[in-house]
Protein backbone atom coordinates (compact mmCIF):
# COMPACT_ATOMS: atom_id res chain seq x y z
CA UNK A 1 0.00 0.00 0.00
CA UNK A 2 1.23 3.49 -0.72
CA UNK A 3 0.38 6.23 1.72
CA UNK A 4 1.04 9.91 1.83
CA UNK A 5 2.48 10.91 5.18
CA UNK A 6 -0.23 13.46 5.83
CA UNK A 7 -2.48 13.00 8.83
CA UNK A 8 -5.02 15.55 7.64
CA UNK A 9 -5.98 13.28 4.77
CA UNK A 10 -7.65 10.90 7.18
CA UNK A 11 -11.38 11.46 7.07
CA UNK A 12 -13.71 11.55 10.08
CA UNK A 13 -15.16 8.13 10.81
CA UNK A 14 -18.57 7.60 9.35
CA UNK A 15 -20.19 6.00 12.40
CA UNK A 16 -19.97 8.34 15.35
CA UNK A 17 -20.10 6.68 18.75
CA UNK A 18 -22.04 8.29 21.62
CA UNK A 19 -19.73 10.33 23.86
CA UNK A 20 -20.77 8.48 26.99
CA UNK A 21 -22.50 5.38 28.21
CA UNK A 22 -19.46 3.52 29.56
CA UNK A 23 -18.86 1.72 26.27
CA UNK A 24 -15.46 0.12 26.24
CA UNK A 25 -13.17 -2.13 24.30
CA UNK A 26 -10.28 -4.42 25.22
CA UNK A 27 -7.52 -4.74 22.60
CA UNK A 28 -4.32 -6.79 22.30
CA UNK A 29 -1.42 -5.72 20.06
CA UNK A 30 1.60 -7.92 19.42
CA UNK A 31 5.31 -7.60 20.04
CA UNK A 32 7.46 -7.19 16.96
CA UNK A 33 10.96 -7.96 15.78
CA UNK A 34 12.30 -4.89 13.96
CA UNK A 35 15.26 -4.70 11.55
CA UNK A 36 15.21 -8.50 10.99
CA UNK A 37 19.00 -8.27 11.23
CA UNK A 38 19.95 -6.60 7.93
CA UNK A 39 17.05 -4.18 7.40
CA UNK A 40 17.71 -1.40 9.92
CA UNK A 41 14.55 0.73 10.23
CA UNK A 42 12.94 -0.85 7.13
CA UNK A 43 11.94 -4.43 8.02
CA UNK A 44 9.91 -5.94 10.85
CA UNK A 45 7.48 -8.72 11.68
CA UNK A 46 4.88 -9.40 14.35
CA UNK A 47 4.83 -12.39 16.71
CA UNK A 48 1.96 -14.05 18.59
CA UNK A 49 3.38 -13.40 22.02
CA UNK A 50 4.17 -11.39 24.03
CA UNK A 51 2.06 -8.27 23.51
CA UNK A 52 0.27 -5.49 25.36
CA UNK A 53 -3.37 -4.87 26.18
CA UNK A 54 -5.38 -1.66 26.38
CA UNK A 55 -8.86 -1.26 27.84
CA UNK A 56 -10.44 1.97 26.65
CA UNK A 57 -13.77 3.41 27.75
CA UNK A 58 -15.76 6.40 26.57
CA UNK A 59 -16.43 8.95 29.33
CA UNK A 60 -18.63 12.04 29.67
CA UNK A 61 -15.82 14.53 29.99
CA UNK A 62 -13.83 15.47 26.85
CA UNK A 63 -10.13 14.62 27.13
CA UNK A 64 -8.06 11.56 27.98
CA UNK A 65 -7.29 10.09 31.38
CA UNK A 66 -5.11 7.09 32.17
CA UNK A 67 -6.59 5.41 35.22
CA UNK A 68 -4.33 2.39 35.44
CA UNK A 69 -1.06 0.94 34.17
CA UNK A 70 -0.04 -2.54 35.23
CA UNK A 71 3.07 -4.60 34.52
CA UNK A 72 5.42 -1.61 34.20
CA UNK A 73 6.91 -1.49 37.72
CA UNK A 74 5.83 2.13 37.91
CA UNK A 75 8.07 3.14 34.99
CA UNK A 76 5.45 4.59 32.65
CA UNK A 77 3.74 7.96 33.11
CA UNK A 78 0.04 8.20 33.97
CA UNK A 79 0.12 11.79 32.71
CA UNK A 80 -1.71 11.65 29.35
CA UNK A 81 0.57 14.36 27.96
CA UNK A 82 3.58 12.10 28.53
CA UNK A 83 2.33 8.62 27.72
CA UNK A 84 2.86 7.34 24.16
CA UNK A 85 -0.57 5.67 24.07
CA UNK A 86 -2.58 8.76 24.97
CA UNK A 87 -0.40 11.09 22.90
CA UNK A 88 -0.87 9.05 19.73
CA UNK A 89 -4.60 8.64 20.42
CA UNK A 90 -4.85 12.40 20.94
CA UNK A 91 -3.19 13.00 17.54
CA UNK A 92 -5.72 10.64 15.97
CA UNK A 93 -8.69 12.40 17.66
CA UNK A 94 -7.45 15.77 16.44
CA UNK A 95 -7.07 14.53 12.90
CA UNK A 96 -10.59 13.08 12.75
CA UNK A 97 -12.09 16.17 14.42
CA UNK A 98 -13.24 14.32 17.56
CA UNK A 99 -11.57 16.21 20.39
CA UNK A 100 -15.03 16.27 22.01
CA UNK A 101 -14.56 12.60 22.92
CA UNK A 102 -13.79 11.66 26.53
CA UNK A 103 -11.68 8.56 27.11
CA UNK A 104 -10.29 6.57 29.97
CA UNK A 105 -7.37 4.24 29.26
CA UNK A 106 -6.03 1.25 31.15
CA UNK A 107 -2.70 -0.06 29.88
CA UNK A 108 -1.70 -3.59 30.80
CA UNK A 109 1.94 -4.24 29.95
CA UNK A 110 2.35 -7.92 29.25
CA UNK A 111 5.86 -7.62 27.94
CA UNK A 112 9.13 -6.19 29.20
CA UNK A 113 9.93 -2.51 28.63
CA UNK A 114 13.19 -1.69 26.83
CA UNK A 115 13.41 -5.23 25.52
CA UNK A 116 13.83 -4.62 21.78
CA UNK A 117 10.50 -6.31 21.15
CA UNK A 118 8.57 -3.16 20.30
CA UNK A 119 7.11 -2.66 23.76
CA UNK A 120 6.04 0.96 23.26
CA UNK A 121 4.74 0.09 19.78
CA UNK A 122 2.52 -2.69 21.08
CA UNK A 123 0.96 -0.31 23.64
CA UNK A 124 0.53 2.50 21.12
CA UNK A 125 -0.99 0.25 18.47
CA UNK A 126 -3.36 -1.32 21.01
CA UNK A 127 -4.50 2.20 21.99
CA UNK A 128 -5.00 3.34 18.40
CA UNK A 129 -6.84 0.18 17.45
CA UNK A 130 -9.05 0.61 20.52
CA UNK A 131 -10.08 4.17 19.63
CA UNK A 132 -10.64 3.17 15.99
CA UNK A 133 -12.91 0.37 17.20
CA UNK A 134 -14.76 2.54 19.73
CA UNK A 135 -15.50 5.21 17.13
CA UNK A 136 -16.53 2.66 14.53
CA UNK A 137 -13.87 3.98 12.17
CA UNK A 138 -13.75 1.47 9.35
CA UNK A 139 -10.76 3.05 7.60
CA UNK A 140 -7.81 0.83 6.67
CA UNK A 141 -5.75 0.24 9.86
CA UNK A 142 -2.69 1.37 7.89
CA UNK A 143 -4.08 4.90 8.16
CA UNK A 144 -3.23 4.77 11.86
CA UNK A 145 0.46 4.39 11.11
CA UNK A 146 1.45 8.09 11.20
CA UNK A 147 -0.12 8.40 14.67
CA UNK A 148 1.67 5.30 15.90
CA UNK A 149 4.93 6.77 14.59
CA UNK A 150 4.30 9.86 16.74
CA UNK A 151 4.28 7.53 19.73
CA UNK A 152 7.64 6.07 18.66
CA UNK A 153 9.08 9.53 18.25
CA UNK A 154 8.06 10.32 21.78
CA UNK A 155 9.34 7.02 23.17
CA UNK A 156 12.83 7.09 21.66
CA UNK A 157 13.32 10.36 19.79
CA UNK A 158 12.77 8.89 16.33
CA UNK A 159 9.56 7.98 14.52
CA UNK A 160 10.72 4.74 12.95
CA UNK A 161 7.95 2.45 11.69
CA UNK A 162 9.53 -1.01 11.69
CA UNK A 163 7.83 -1.96 14.98
CA UNK A 164 4.53 -0.09 14.70
CA UNK A 165 3.83 -1.14 11.10
CA UNK A 166 3.97 -4.91 11.72
CA UNK A 167 2.18 -4.48 15.08
CA UNK A 168 -0.63 -2.69 13.25
CA UNK A 169 -0.77 -4.67 10.01
CA UNK A 170 0.47 -8.04 11.21
CA UNK A 171 2.89 -10.19 9.26
CA UNK A 172 6.19 -9.19 7.67
CA UNK A 173 6.45 -5.55 6.63
CA UNK A 174 8.86 -3.48 4.55
CA UNK A 175 9.02 0.29 4.96
CA UNK A 176 10.16 1.08 1.43
CA UNK A 177 10.06 4.81 2.07
CA UNK A 178 9.40 7.14 5.00
CA UNK A 179 8.70 10.24 2.94
CA UNK A 180 6.26 9.64 1.48
CA UNK A 181 5.34 6.71 3.69
CA UNK A 182 5.25 3.56 1.57
CA UNK A 183 4.67 0.37 3.53
CA UNK A 184 4.57 -3.04 1.88
CA UNK A 185 3.36 -6.27 3.45
CA UNK A 186 5.63 -9.13 2.43
CA UNK A 187 4.81 -12.82 2.16
CA UNK A 188 6.70 -15.33 4.29
CA UNK A 189 7.11 -19.08 4.23
CA UNK A 190 4.64 -21.01 6.33
CA UNK A 191 6.42 -22.98 9.01
CA UNK A 192 8.98 -20.33 9.89
CA UNK A 193 9.38 -20.28 13.68
CA UNK A 194 10.87 -17.53 15.77
CA UNK A 195 12.76 -18.25 18.99
CA UNK A 196 13.12 -15.13 21.14
CA UNK A 197 15.24 -14.61 24.22
CA UNK A 198 15.10 -11.42 26.26
CA UNK A 199 18.17 -11.16 28.53
CA UNK A 200 17.16 -9.04 31.47
CA UNK A 201 19.45 -6.07 30.89
CA UNK A 202 18.23 -2.62 29.99
CA UNK A 203 19.01 -1.27 26.51
CA UNK A 204 16.93 1.85 25.84
CA UNK A 205 16.28 2.30 22.12
CA UNK A 206 17.15 6.00 22.33
CA UNK A 207 20.66 5.14 23.52
CA UNK A 208 21.06 2.14 21.23
CA UNK A 209 20.38 4.49 18.31
CA UNK A 210 22.91 7.05 19.48
CA UNK A 211 25.86 4.63 19.35
CA UNK A 212 25.35 3.65 15.70
CA UNK A 213 27.83 4.92 13.11
CA UNK A 214 26.29 7.74 11.09
CA UNK A 215 28.46 7.20 8.00
CA UNK A 216 29.11 3.98 6.15
CA UNK A 217 31.42 3.16 3.27
CA UNK A 218 30.32 1.97 -0.16
CA UNK A 219 31.77 -1.53 0.23
CA UNK A 220 29.72 -2.11 3.40
CA UNK A 221 26.62 -0.60 1.80
CA UNK A 222 26.90 -3.03 -1.13
CA UNK A 223 27.12 -5.98 1.25
CA UNK A 224 24.16 -4.74 3.28
CA UNK A 225 21.76 -4.03 0.43
CA UNK A 226 22.68 -7.34 -1.19
CA UNK A 227 21.57 -9.03 2.02
CA UNK A 228 18.34 -7.03 2.31
CA UNK A 229 17.45 -7.89 -1.28
CA UNK A 230 18.36 -11.52 -0.60
CA UNK A 231 16.12 -11.64 2.46
CA UNK A 232 13.16 -10.13 0.63
CA UNK A 233 13.73 -12.49 -2.31
CA UNK A 234 13.87 -15.43 0.10
CA UNK A 235 10.55 -14.38 1.62
CA UNK A 236 8.89 -14.25 -1.80
CA UNK A 237 10.55 -17.46 -2.99
CA UNK A 238 9.74 -19.29 0.28
CA UNK A 239 13.44 -20.16 0.37
CA UNK A 240 14.35 -20.48 4.03
CA UNK A 241 18.03 -21.14 3.32
CA UNK A 242 18.27 -17.95 1.25
CA UNK A 243 16.54 -16.10 4.11
CA UNK A 244 19.10 -17.52 6.52
CA UNK A 245 22.21 -16.65 4.54
CA UNK A 246 20.93 -13.13 3.86
CA UNK A 247 20.32 -12.28 7.52
CA UNK A 248 23.71 -10.71 8.15
CA UNK A 249 24.28 -7.20 9.40
CA UNK A 250 27.70 -5.59 9.13
CA UNK A 251 26.53 -2.06 9.94
CA UNK A 252 24.65 -2.05 13.23
CA UNK A 253 25.15 -5.42 14.90
CA UNK A 254 28.94 -5.05 15.46
CA UNK A 255 28.23 -1.99 17.63
CA UNK A 256 24.99 -2.99 19.37
CA UNK A 257 26.12 -6.52 20.13
CA UNK A 258 28.44 -5.02 22.73
CA UNK A 259 25.37 -4.13 24.83
CA UNK A 260 24.13 -7.73 24.87
CA UNK A 261 25.67 -10.27 27.25
CA UNK A 262 27.47 -13.08 25.40
CA UNK A 263 25.82 -12.18 22.09
CA UNK A 264 28.30 -14.12 19.95
CA UNK A 265 28.28 -17.11 22.29
CA UNK A 266 24.47 -17.17 22.04
CA UNK A 267 24.75 -17.07 18.24
CA UNK A 268 27.19 -19.98 18.29
CA UNK A 269 24.81 -22.00 20.47
CA UNK A 270 21.73 -21.22 18.36
CA UNK A 271 23.39 -21.86 15.00
CA UNK A 272 24.96 -25.06 16.37
CA UNK A 273 21.46 -26.27 17.26
CA UNK A 274 20.12 -25.79 13.75
CA UNK A 275 18.89 -22.18 13.68
CA UNK A 276 18.42 -20.72 10.21
CA UNK A 277 19.61 -17.31 11.40
CA UNK A 278 20.32 -15.41 14.60
CA UNK A 279 20.48 -11.72 15.44
CA UNK A 280 19.38 -8.78 17.54
CA UNK A 281 15.68 -8.02 17.77
CA UNK A 282 15.18 -4.30 17.13
CA UNK A 283 17.64 -2.33 19.22
CA UNK A 284 18.15 -5.25 21.67
CA UNK A 285 18.83 -6.66 24.14
CA UNK A 286 16.42 -9.36 22.89
CA UNK A 287 17.85 -11.75 20.35
CA UNK A 288 15.98 -14.04 18.02
CA UNK A 289 16.56 -17.02 15.78
CA UNK A 290 14.51 -18.33 12.89
CA UNK A 291 14.04 -22.09 12.79
CA UNK A 292 12.29 -24.52 10.47
CA UNK A 293 10.28 -26.17 13.25
CA UNK A 294 8.80 -25.46 16.66
CA UNK A 295 10.79 -28.08 18.53
CA UNK A 296 14.15 -26.59 17.48
CA UNK A 297 12.91 -23.13 18.44
CA UNK A 298 11.91 -24.37 21.91
CA UNK A 299 15.21 -26.18 22.47
CA UNK A 300 17.18 -23.09 21.40
CA UNK A 301 15.31 -20.78 23.77
CA UNK A 302 15.80 -23.24 26.65
CA UNK A 303 19.51 -23.64 25.94
CA UNK A 304 20.06 -19.87 25.65
CA UNK A 305 18.15 -19.31 28.86
CA UNK A 306 20.35 -21.88 30.61
CA UNK A 307 23.43 -20.15 29.27
CA UNK A 308 22.24 -16.75 30.51
CA UNK A 309 21.43 -18.24 33.92
CA UNK A 310 24.98 -19.61 34.06
CA UNK A 311 26.31 -16.05 33.72
CA UNK A 312 23.74 -14.83 36.26
CA UNK A 313 21.42 -13.07 33.85
CA UNK A 314 17.68 -13.66 34.03
CA UNK A 315 15.69 -13.97 30.82
CA UNK A 316 12.27 -14.39 29.28
CA UNK A 317 11.79 -16.74 26.36
CA UNK A 318 9.11 -16.94 23.68
CA UNK A 319 8.46 -19.18 20.69
CA UNK A 320 6.12 -18.02 17.98
CA UNK A 321 5.19 -18.23 14.36
CA UNK A 322 4.85 -14.95 12.46
CA UNK A 323 1.63 -13.27 13.52
CA UNK A 324 -0.35 -12.31 10.42
CA UNK A 325 -3.34 -10.95 12.34
CA UNK A 326 -1.90 -7.85 14.10
CA UNK A 327 -4.12 -6.24 16.76
CA UNK A 328 -7.07 -8.17 18.14
CA UNK A 329 -10.23 -7.09 19.95
CA UNK A 330 -10.48 -9.26 23.07
CA UNK A 331 -13.79 -7.93 24.28
N1 LIG B 1 14.80 0.12 13.88
C2 LIG B 1 14.78 0.47 15.28
C3 LIG B 1 16.19 0.46 15.81
C4 LIG B 1 13.95 -0.54 16.02
O5 LIG B 1 16.91 -0.48 15.50
O6 LIG B 1 16.57 1.39 16.51
C7 LIG B 1 13.88 -0.30 17.50
O8 LIG B 1 13.13 -1.35 18.09
Q: Dump pLDDT digits (tens) for 137-173.
A: 999 999 999 999 999 999 888 889 999 999 999 999 9
- Domain assignment present for residue 15? The answer is yes
CB of 281 within 6 A of ligand 1: the answer is no
What pLDDT was estimated at residue 22?
60
Distance 209 CA to ligand 1 centre (A): 7
- Domain assignment present for residue 328? The answer is no
Pocket test for ligand 1, best of 36, 39, 40 (most atoms within 8 A of CB): 40
- Domain assignment present for residue 66? The answer is yes
What pLDDT was estimated at residue 239?
97
74 and 158 housed in the same domain:
yes
Q: Say how many domains are in the chain.
A: 2
What pLDDT was estimated at residue 19?
36
**Long-range contacts, stretch 200-204, CB < 8 angstroms, 24+ apart:** 200/112, 200/313, 200/314, 200/315, 200/316, 201/259, 201/260, 201/261, 201/285, 201/313, 202/114, 202/285, 203/114, 203/116, 203/256, 203/259, 203/260, 203/283, 203/284, 203/285, 204/114, 204/156
165 and 197 housed in the same domain:
no
105 and 152 housed in the same domain:
yes
What pLDDT was estimated at residue 161?
97
CATH number at residue 47: 3.30.230.10
DSSP 274-313: T-SEEEE-TTSS-EEEEESSHHHHHHHHHHHHHHHHHTT-
65 and 35 housed in the same domain:
yes
Residue range 234-275, pLDDT digits in tens: 999 999 999 999 999 999 999 999 999 999 999 999 999 999
What pLDDT was estimated at residue 3?
46
Domain enclosing residue 107, as ranges: 2-185
Cα–Cα dist 234/275, whole Å: 16
CATH number at residue 218: 3.30.70.890
Please identify, among 158, 185, 212, the residue that sits at the C-terminal boundary of a domain. 185
CB of 160 within 6 A of ligand 1: the answer is yes
- Domain assignment present for residue 200? The answer is yes
198 and 174 housed in the same domain:
no
In ligand 1, the atom with minimum distance to the C-alpha of 40 is 1
Cα–Cα dist 254/252, whole Å: 6
- Domain assignment present for residue 144? The answer is yes
What pLDDT was estimated at residue 206?
87
Residues of the chain with pLDDT under 50: 1-21
pTM greater than the 0.95 cutoff:
no
Amino acid sequence: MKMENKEQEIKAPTIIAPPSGGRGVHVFAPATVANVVCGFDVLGFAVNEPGDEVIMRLTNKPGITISKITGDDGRLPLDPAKNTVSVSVQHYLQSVGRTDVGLDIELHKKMPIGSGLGSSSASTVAGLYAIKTLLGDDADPAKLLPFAMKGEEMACGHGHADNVAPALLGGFVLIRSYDPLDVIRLPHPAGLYCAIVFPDVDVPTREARQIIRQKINMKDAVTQWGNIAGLVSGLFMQDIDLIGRSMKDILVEPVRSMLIPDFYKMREIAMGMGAVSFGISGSGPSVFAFTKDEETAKLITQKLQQHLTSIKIGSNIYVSTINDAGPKVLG
